[in-house]
Amino acid sequence: MITLAHMADSTASSSASATPAEPKHAEPADRPVYVIGGGPGGLAAAYALRAQGLRAVVLERSDSVGASWRRHYDRLHLHTTRRLSSLPGLAMPRRFGRWVSRDNVVRYLEKYAEYHELEIVTGVEVSRIERSPDGTGWLLHATGGRELTGAAVVVATGYNHTPHVPDWPGRDTYKGELLHAGDYRNPEPFAGRDVLVVGIGNTGAEIAVDLVEGGASRVRLSVRTAPHILRRSTAGWAAQYTGVLVRRLPVSLVDRLAGPVGKLSVPDLSAHGLPRPDTGLYSRVHEGSVPVQDVGLIDAVRKGAVEVVAAVEGFEDGKVVLADGSRVEPDVMIAATGYARALEGLVGHLDVLDARGKPVVQGALTPDNAPGLFFTGFTNPISGMLRELAIDAQKIAKAVAKDGAGRVSRLPVN
């Protein structure tokens, strides 16, 4: 059952609308581990900590778990298999099928929290983390002026935290509709309209296909850098399986192996504006760009249903200016231009982020200058995000149990 923790006395409320009481001053040996974020990474970490006998409190800024999943577009299915996407302690039901839908992911996360009786506080957003005054833990500044002290902190606010739309020159002159992909749900509002999708990650590629199937009059896909495209499954072999097998191999070796395989499984789309990339697949992954899993894009591009155009450079006289000098005037622009991790305000002052705003370490490792501060879910690994979140959760819990168990509140023994 999902509960709201009363932070003042560690009791739980069954009312989903209850407001947490003000915290008391916890003694160093009576502090929970605070997990920031109620998505898959946060829930998995909370369960793994509980399995070690440690009290974990999940702080979620929205009113329910899995908030980011609830906002995804309707047709979304996992690109990773059900069996390799389960979190620790509870398998995804077989009835969900091999490629689990968005709605079933949300159902699973709700069931996961209930099944493991996780302690979850909703409606609480943490704005800043700093060392506790006594130096034995962490002080969290949260909604309503709350100050919460934990023995350790797991930051699991998510890879897709804050929508990013480029500040294109002249953007205010565009008279059409402009929205971020995070606000796209289904093609119904765009039937019969001319739509330009900007960005060819997995989201942009799938939205473009969705628009074609949903009756948009014209669909163009703006591409700055041609991606690696993979079949989600070939003869029953999921691309994720290969990702798991090569996860620890040298980057150069995987690049060499992936080249011939890509040429055999994916047709050359150069004539349609999508040449084969000139850099290796795994090199791209290490730069933060995962391959596009084909869920209809290849056929749509070959048939001309999705037209590939150059990158967007800006706007002029209300028209969209592309990198090749051409101008287009779509009714709608959908910016599938990614998300910002937005960790700077939370932990930027602790010197734990790199130049791109990414945590310097993840999983069971903590920064040398910030012991007890853990991060999970801030990369997009080739072997599958949910799989890696599950692995990280158990490693983090073991690290906390080993190094900080004496400072963490223990769960009561029944």
pLDDT (tens digit, 9 = 90+) per residue, 363-383?
999 999 999 999 999 988 889
Q: What pLDDT sits at residue 379?
A: 86
Q: Is 339 helix (H, G, I), strand (E, B) or coil?
A: strand
184, 73 Cβ separation under 8 angstroms = yes
Q: What pLDDT sits at residue 1?
A: 44
CA angle 102, 205, 161 (to 5 degrees): 55
Q: What pLDDT sits at residue 349?
A: 96
Q: What pLDDT sits at residue 21?
A: 40
Q: Is 139 helix (H, G, I), strand (E, B) or coil?
A: strand
Q: Where does residue 411 rank: exposed (0-12), middle (13-18), buried (19+ CB within 10 A)? A: middle
pLDDT bucket at 5, cuts 50 / 70 / 90: very low
Query: Residue range 284-299: average pLDDT?
Result: 90
Distance, in Å, from the CA atom of 376 to the CA atom of 386, rounded to the nearest integer, reads: 11
- How far is C-alpha 250 from the chain's CA centre? 25
Q: What pLDDT sits at residue 7?
A: 47
Q: What pLDDT sits at residue 23?
A: 45
81 token code pair: 């298999």
* Residue 25 in this model has a pLDDT that exceeds 50: no
Q: What pLDDT sits at residue 334?
A: 98
Q: What pLDDT sits at residue 29?
A: 54
Q: What pLDDT sits at residue 4?
A: 42
Phi, psi for residue 357 in degrees, rounded to 5: 80, 15
Least-confidence region, from 302-306, 372-376, 380-384, 386-390: 380-384
pLDDT (tens digit, 9 = 90+) per residue, 66-111?
999 999 999 999 999 999 999 999 999 999 999 999 999 999 999 9
Domains of the chain from N-terminus onward: 4-161+341-407 (3.50.50.60), 164-335 (3.50.50.60)
Per-residue CA distances from 229 to 222, 236, 238, 290 (Å) = 16, 17, 14, 9
Least-confidence region, from 96-105, 200-209, 401-410: 401-410
Query: Residue range 326-345: average pLDDT?
Result: 94
Return the percent helix, strand and coil in the chain, to nearest 5: 30, 25, 45
Contacts of 188 (CB under 8 A, 6+ apart): 214
Q: What's the whole-number average pLDDT of the chain?
A: 90
> pTM for the full model?
0.89
* Residue 261 in this model has a pLDDT that exceeds 70: yes
Q: Could you tell me where the beta strands, DSSP code E, fall in 268-383?
A: 292-294, 306-309, 312-316, 319-322, 327-328, 332-335, 339-340, 373-375
Q: To the nearest whole percent, how much of the chain has pLDDT over 70?
A: 90
Q: What pLDDT sits at residue 406?
A: 56
Distance, in Å, from the CA atom of 143 to the CA atom of 122, rounded to the nearest integer, reads: 11
Look at 26 and 35; give whichever has higher pLDDT: 35
Query: Residue range 210-226: average pLDDT?
Result: 97
